[in-house]
Structure 1
Amino acid sequence: MNPFIFNLHGTEIWSAFLITSNVILRAIASTPLELEMEASAILNSGWWNISDYNYNDISSLCEWNGISCNHIGSITKIKCPCYLRYEKAFHQFSSLKLSAFQNLERLDLWSCGLGGSIPFEIGNLTKLTFLVLSHNFLNGEIPFSIENLGKITTIDLNHNLISGEIPPQLGYLPNLNTLDLSDNNLYGMVPQSLVLLLQNKSEPVNLFLSYNNLKGPIPYGLPPYTLLGNKDVLVPRKKKPIYQQAKILPILICSIASFLILVCVMLIHNATKKKHAKPIATKNGDLFSIWNYDGHIAYEDIIKETEGFDMKYCVGTGAYGCVYKVPLPNGKVVALKKLHGFVAEDPTADESFRSEVDVLSKIKHRHIVKLLGFCMHKRIRFLIYEYMEKGSLFSVLYDDVEAIELEWRKRVNIIKGIAHALSYLHHDCIPPIVHRDISSSNILLNSEWEPNISDFGTARLLKYDCSNRTIVAGTYGYIAPEISDQSCPLKSFVRF
């Protein structure tokens, strides 16, 4: 036994005992108190229909839709309840008291019908690694308290009404690898800290700032595609080199001439080699299939042509993935839609991916986008389509120059083409197909301004031998008025 104890007087031993007991009791009582605070925050938010659950004790919350807990019953993950997402109910984000969830790691509230501003208390979620609030009606500014999220890896706030300047603190988050602030009302200049974030990371950082009101020159080192749709952003011009000493010019001319001769020799050699070489079939395996072109295009070929999905080939981004423009060796150009890594793990996204493959592989129409191939793997998933040079109807209508070029005769032809495609889906397909989300973002235009319906992730096949009922799906402003939520004060608009 420790001889130090024998040297203590009776009063000192009793005081030490009381202090130790108090510390132990506080440690034991803290966990139930935190659980009660979490339960109170969930119940008072109004996001869950309490009548649908048998709420007996705190632990039963872990079985509610969209809630996950750790081994002691503390909430670690909150997703938007599925019925809230489909019913499109409107709630204030602040109605969920965030400060109660000290162990929260994932907050996934995309397309939840949330309004109001992002609460300042979000900075108290120090264990948060995944934050997705996209496709809501959030306004106000991004709170500076977000700098306290030291473990955060993903922040997705796209398709909201967020205003103000981009907080430079976002660029100092050490573990951040995905930041999507596109389709908002942000203004001001791009913080230099975001450029440093791209340069200091050993792994690629997904940064999307498109379709805001940002201005100023593109910072050096920031890819231009990240700022698409910001009309006041200036693309820097490359300065032509000025040679002040005349003696450098002869050396430069000789070097250029030598290089051109070498290139010509190599081109002639390669052309001769290809002419006499026997065609070699590329590998295909069971990961990738394609039907429209002669032969097979292997998974390795796609990786090679995109340089491992380098972002310089990216022409657009959305909530679920990025779209790449891929030039193929045979001269064709295709569009490749690659799902984000965290989206591919979502069962709902998996169902949408398989539905689009299933539907597009069974139909063929001049005004429906052609699916040329797909890759379905646990680590990577992408779809390959015929490339549409003009992009989406949404982007054309919101571009002042292209909107003028899209005169009324072309607009009428677009309407006719979409009508023919819908008639084909509803009356000429067996079984009939219902798209459920015909919006301007899902109508693509080729070089001749001909429309093509795309994005069949929410499409449904109707069976003749049974009744068919589907949940409400689609984009605000395009859903039929009789089934859309009339309580929502904010709808999407179309410039058509």
Structure 2
Amino acid sequence: MSTADRSPLESEAKAVLESGWWSGFHNISQRCKWPGISCNAAGSIIKIDLSGHVFEVEVGDRFGELNFSSFPNLLHLDLSGCQLGGNIPPQIGDISALEYLDLSGSHLSGELPPSLGNLTRLEILYISSNRIHGSIPPQLGKLEKLVNLSLGGNGLTGQIPHFLETLINLRSLDISRNQFDEGPIPQNIWNLTGLVFLGLGRCGIVGPIPSALGQLTNLELLDLGSNKFEGSIPRDIENLKKLRYLNIRNNGLTGHIPLFLCHLTKLESIILSLNQFSGSIPSCIGNLSSLTGLSLDSNLLQGSIPKEIGNLEALRSLDLSQNRLNGSIPSQINKLSRLSDLVLSFNQLSGSVPILSATKLVIHDTGNGCCKIFPDPFEGNKGLSPCMNSSVANNVKNSKRPYYLKIYLPIAIFTTFFFILCCLLLSRFKVKNNRAGEQPAKNGDICSIWNYDGKIAYEDIIAATDDFDFRHCIGIGGYGSVYKAQLPCGKVVALKKLHRLEAENPAFDKSFRNEIKFLTEIRHRNIVKLHGFCLHRRSMFLIYEYMGKGVYSTT
């Protein structure tokens, strides 16, 4: 190998050593085998991915100590979740070959450096969920090869930039959850006709939803939630034939729910909550056979619940609460065999509760021949009978009994055995409990996580999940929904958010916490470790160890 050939490799080796990122590794000749490093056939580093190696590699405040210009072949840099802190070093613009850059969830602050515009080969840029402020530098308009751009969940200010129209290859654009100046959506965004995902939620947008939105015919996911949109939904949205996810919650929209939404047959989730829609629920909504989630709560909807909802065989979640719906609950809801989250509370419904024998909702016998669903999705309807037919409900429960015995009996036996052991070690547990990181917050809210180095508050969970946004949801079940979240320490956990706040019962607080602390000590290969809980006036959730491949039970 000639001197010219060796020089770049020697430069890389020196940069790796001087960075201090891999302080626990010393054999520099083996750097291609170090955590997070990949090399090409010539031994030059082409990829640094430390997102899964946060406990083996320490970057932290050393982020700016890497000589970025020493990596001429680096294509992929992923430092997401590494708790970098501080500013993004402007020298990052020296990685001339870079195609993939992910700095999301890394506690970064400061402003976006204009030098990012030098990365003209960049296709993926993720800097979401940090503390970046200031405006988006116009130099980002030079990144014409960008396919995915995510700057959501920061504190960006100024106007939504007009230069976005130059990013003609964009397929995904997420600038949601920032603090942009109030104003309309820049018209040139409608030139990005290749967009598949558009995230403009919580961006300070005012005025009507532009009809030009209908030009984005490749859109599959659209988030316009938590802005100040007014007026009605424009008919041009009917052109979005590929749309699967539509979120326009928490705006000031008025008028009727348009019938043309029923023509978007690929829709899987419709979220129109917290607006001022009036009129009735269109019966044609029953034509959306792919629909798994329908949220129309907190509007001014009147009339009866259309029986055609029973045609939505894929439906898992239905929330029609806090409207002015009247009449009886259609018996066709009983056909929704996958339904696990039902909320019809605070309407003007009357009559009897349907059997719901085919659903996954949990039915409890309260005595006196009365069976109810728990948590109660029907409260606040004065004319509605709280009971369903007990004989049919009992048949439902009996049909499920072998399944529950098979699953929960071994756990019950194990738990009983472990409880006896815990009694023998009570004094030890008292010492542990005194060390628990319990943090009382305002209004008596409590969050507590064991074996967690630091404090956790409800607001941290809200920030980590973007207020339990749909995009963080990894499962939905009868008792709650499961979300993936990254704590301020960088640890990734699974949050099981229960559908109802049982903590409203004053007697529940102590017993709940005692039970949870007991469960955190269980060690068994078939039980996911419970790290703690959060008890808040708005919601309650359990905090589990995050395990991949969908191992969480949400029932």
The TM-score, its normalising length taken from structure 1, stands at 0.48
**If each structure's helix is expressed as a fraction of its own residues, which one has the higher value?**
1
The TM-score, its normalising length taken from structure 2, stands at 0.44
| Higher RCO structure (Cα 8 Å, ≥6 apart) | 1
User: Which of structures 1 and 2 has the bigger CA Rg?
Assistant: 1
